[in-house]
Amino acid sequence: MKNFSTGFLIIASILLLFPMAGYGQKAGYDKEFTKIMDSLNIQTTIYFQWHNSEVYTKYGKPRVKAMNELKSHPEKEKELRPYIDSLTVLLDAAGQESKKRYALITEKKSEAYDKYKLVSGEAFKSVFYRRHSLTTEELWSMLNSATKEVRRSPAGKATKAFLTTKKVLPGDKFKPFTCFDVNGKKFNWNIISGKKTIIIGDGLGCMTHGMDNSAPARYFKEIKEKYGADNFVLIIYWNNTDLQEMKKGIAEFGVEEFINVADGLEFSTPLEILYDTQGTPSLLYINADGTLNKQVMGIDDYIDSFLKD
């Protein structure tokens, strides 16, 4: 009897360890997959920055401009042809370098494809966060090939929503989204009717630039004083935040006098799904006629030019 009990305990212990081993293995895949996706995002960003500056701006754009000028003024053949030919040589060389650099990104994507089918819904969040490093076809492929658990996870649902939702583009009518105010009541978007509006999507911490947390509030006050508080609407949107977290953030940054709203969502935001924003702070500029003017990442000088016009 004693031997039977001992054997039973050993078998039971082994069976209990199997799920734990599987969990540890999945956690390892999650960590490796997230690392690969982060690296892919960095490489893609660097590549496009280089391609735009060294291939398109430096050689491609001037070449097109020169060719158009020659087409309009054939008499400038002797003047423009050597210049065009030299740009063609440089553009071809830069193009070859661009292909080599993009090949490295393709290798990194292959690494991600080798790992993503084994990850959890939590790790799949990195797919949504790094969605701009992948093509639409690649996103669909990863989503459709993912496990049912991943497809039903917040990241899986957000990725599908991003792929299937028609984006609001500059010139389109602003599409309101559901959110609540500091009193927990549904926010009424009629407040922006007939006025220029700036929606600042979270990221106030990014605006401090190493200074104290009052920096964003001071900046917003300067903007209101400069252009008149009655001439436009400024909304601070706390994404993925519940009511209590929003109140805490408002007190922390001292932005009580401004319009604050939150969505209470667990993951992903309407700005990301509807307006394809990325990063924080994300800004939406809405014209007085209710059309979207522009969406950008980060605070820039466009605020001034937008409110001046």
pLDDT digits (tens, 9 = 90+) for 205-253: 777 766 788 888 888 899 899 888 888 999 999 999 999 999 999 999 9
Helices and strands (H, E) in the chain, number of each type? 11, 5
Cβ within 8 Å of residue 268, ≥6 positions away: 128, 154, 155, 158, 161, 162, 240
Distance CA 145, CA 16 (A): 29
Name the residue type at position 91.
L
More confident residue, 151 or 308: 151
Distance CA 57, CA 299 (A): 24
Lookup result for tokens 């360890």: 17
Mean pLDDT on 163-179: 95
Look at residue 22 in the predicted model and tell me its pLDDT. 45
Q: What is the pLDDT of residues 176-193, one digit of tens each?
A: 999 999 999 999 999 999
Compute the Cα dihedral for 269, 274, 278, 281 and give only its sign.
Answer: negative
Distance from chain centroid for Cα 69: 38
Binned at pLDDT 50, 70 and 90, residue 166 comes out as very high
Binned at pLDDT 50, 70 and 90, residue 199 comes out as very high
Distance CA 223, CA 225 (A): 6
What pTM was estimated for this model as a whole? 0.70
Question: In the predicted model, what is the mean pLDDT of the chain?
Answer: 84
Distance CA 65, CA 13 (A): 74
In the chain, the domains with their CATH numbers are 2-164 (no CATH), 189-308 (3.40.30.10)
Per-position DSSP letters for 248-261, written without gaps between them: HHHHHHT-TTSEEE
Look at residue 210 in the predicted model and tell me its pLDDT. 64
Asked whether residue 138 carries a pLDDT value surpassing 50, the answer given is: yes
Mean pLDDT on 76-87: 89
E strands along the chain, which residues? Answer: 196-201, 232-238, 259-262, 282-286, 292-297
Binned at pLDDT 50, 70 and 90, residue 27 comes out as low
Binned at pLDDT 50, 70 and 90, residue 4 comes out as very low
